[in-house]
Structure 1
């Protein structure tokens, strides 16, 4: 039975309007289930793209809970990429993405084998580029090659060295790692890991009135930075167990990464939410990390990743003053091959366990567009 005989559809959302596809049809109900209202495809007003029947799993359209990322963000609600891969607009989004820059933002690499498979896919479908190449494109005002992809890591836990680097080196792919300077050479856990552990083991803070540990991190992030730090200290005092230690990268590890084509960038001293900091704290967080990295690396860093991914104009002013060339957001978007705002470069959120189908729809920009239409937050 043909696609048009079996499928009931609704118009694509306005997120697809940039491609002129707002009237095109193709996202469907689950097989075997009728869906209310909506014209059939029997007499389309536009030529219908060829391709396999798109699949929408039962329950799609309802938010699906997913595990938190290591830093407390909720990454990609549900798994839309697995079924969006079959949407008729995916080839069109992929063609459009060829003229965009994809910057992938990883955190830790928990599955080296899956990460390696993603890298193999990138070598087939894209052109991996280095941080230096992006910087050179900005300096020379010459766009990067079509299908350019830059791989980045935020927070830079040891898995970047132990799991990611061997896979990158094996394939000759460059990357960039943005580090939290006050953790380098220590065995301290990331503060969001520590806070979650303390809350599970009896920790309490006056500014956070909740008995649900899952609500702790969002509330901590919403506090002014002095209150966040004070609340974290209260959690430490009141909890009946101390969190396990977490071995961090050392200055020598940073040099080893840099020598293996993983550029090192600034991610502040302690990873605060800059929007909750006063101007003096914003400056201290950036310059403190800048000075430490310059001392360890023997040269100043030229790239910065905003903690929590959001742009802060006060931070950008400090970066410009210090001579930074590139600044990265985590807004789950593609950007132009020649960045228009070098200190506000978009990135796509991904992790080492992302499925191949979903990985494709993230790279094409289709999954990010779908999430924006659904109103699903990124950070």
Structure 2
């Protein structure tokens, strides 16, 4: 794609994304119908975090039951290892981080409909009131926290920049933010061991999301081993069974983690790359996932499940990169 065409596509995608009727237009478009037919043989792995909007999440589940086939992690792992093929329009529901709302709001809604799911948990936080480090970072920046290790930026952008640092530098930056902020981050409700067992009893399988949630590709060898294997041991102790599934923090794949997961007998690993999955064609430890939120509208969810919106997202990103390589900002193009 030449830079001129890339610029036009990026502008069109941005305007459509910001227009209130854009999702409805996409859902009714011939492209949606084409993408939906193409997606019928793929697996849609929905990657949520919390269940911040229970009513909207309930609407998501209603859509999945009407038009898709919710499947279990066990069935996905079977297909990923050459077993029975999944039904057409299969979907797997997953959650990252182990937010307490998955237990408080998600579990009752999932259990009432018999929809299986997976919750990838950070066992280093289980039973504590420690905040997620990204939530703490945003709070500290909003309250005047500074660090010389990254340029000053909005709280959410500071989190993104910290993820690019080595793990040691990230920890030092966080210490500086804590020392300079006018108020510490308040305690945050985390899942307990009892709640983990209740999730599993209710059909939500507990998976491994590392011990403390660093970006593994920014860690040293010893820390990668600890983050994967100590988390594995702790989750085994907490739930009474060894986890078989892993989700890479921030979606950052790391070959060292891959080796440790294989060593520990993991049967599946999940990315966070906003793509439909093909368990038979991908390595079982490299399964694709779609990015979604419990606040995502049902109309938008339909275009995510078809693969149309993810395709537009990737096209817009490629366009932006093409323009950047051409050395001319999008705002200067008419």
- Report TM bin, short chain: 0.7 to 0.9
Could you tell me which of 166, 178, 192 is aligned with 2:120? Answer: 178
Q: Which of the residues 250, 256, 274 maps onto 2:216?
A: 274
Paired position in structure 2 for 1:347: 289
Q: What are the equivalent positions in structure 2 for 1:45-84 lying under 5 Å apart?
A: 60-62=12-14, 81-84=23-26
Gaps of 5+ in 1: 1-13, 16-35, 37-58, 67-76
2:276 to 318, 327, 334: 334
Secondary structure at the counterpart of residue 304 of structure 1: strand
Q: Match of 2:147? A: 205
Alpha carbons of structure 1 residues 122 and 82: separation in structure 2 relative to 1, 3 Å: same
Post-superposition offset of 1:232: 0.6
1:8-61 alpha-carbon deviations (Å, 9 max, x no partner): xxxxxx99xxxxxxxxxxxxxxxxxxxx9xxxxxxxxxxxxxxxxxxxxxx844
Instruction: Give TM-score scaled by structure 1 length.
Output: 0.78
Alignment of 1:101-140 (within 5 A): 101-140=43-82
Higher relative contact order (CA 8 A, sep 6+): 2
Unaligned 5+ runs, structure 2: 320-334
1:295 to 237, 240, 244: 237
Deviation at 1:223, TM superposition (A): 0.7
1:119 CA drift (Å): 0.5
- Map residues 1-379 of structure 1 onto 2, 5 A cutoff: 60-62=12-14, 81-210=23-152, 212-338=154-280, 340-375=282-317
The number of residues matched between the two structures is 313
Contact residue 178 and residue 267 of structure 1 kept, 8 A: yes
Q: Secondary structure at the match of 2:57?
A: helix
Q: Cα gap change, 1:96/1:259 in structure 2, threshold over 3 Å: closer, same or farther?
A: same
Cα distance in 2 for partners of 1:207, 1:63 equals 35
User: Greater helix percent: which structure?
Assistant: 2
SS, match of residue 287 in structure 1: helix
Q: Take 2:231 and 2:312, find their aligned partners in 1: how far apart are those partners?
A: 36
